[in-house]
Amino acid sequence: MKTSLYFSAAAALSIVTVTSSAFAADAAKGAPLYAQRCAMCHGDKGHGDGPLAATMPEGQKPRNLSAGGYKYATDDAKFKELLQKGGAGVGLSVLMPGQADLKDADIENVIAYVKTLK
């Protein structure tokens, strides 16, 4: 018995679309963690205007997370490393603390929430 396997480009595209996200995260679960750990510097809406931002020197101000144009915005693994190690751990601002005490899933949820700010 001869069998044939047909594979369409459309099917391949749908597979890529479904699996393109690096993490299966929940932005709603990330929101309270962001509010607790990030908003003091990055602001409630991620504009980099949290209450502590005014106390930071130029060149060390928090990133505007709503712009989405920073290098970690498109690479979930790098973003996760940044959150785990903090700015100093990846060659960025020493003022950004790491969140190594958070579980991987919590960090992934924060990343999912930050992506909603764009």
Per-residue model confidence as pLDDT tens digits over 24-76: 899 999 999 999 999 999 999 999 999 999 999 988 999 999 998 877 777 89
pLDDT at 9: 38
What are the tokens at 73? 């915005």
Residue 34 exposed, middle or buried by CB count within 10 Å (0-12, 13-18, 19+): buried
What pTM did the predictor assign? 0.77
**Cβ pair 110, 38 in contact under 8 A:** yes
C-alpha span between 31 and 5 (Å, rounded): 45
Ordered structural domains, the chain, with CATH: 25-116 (1.10.760.10)
Per-residue pLDDT reduced to its tens digit, 77-105:
999 999 999 999 999 999 999 999 999 99
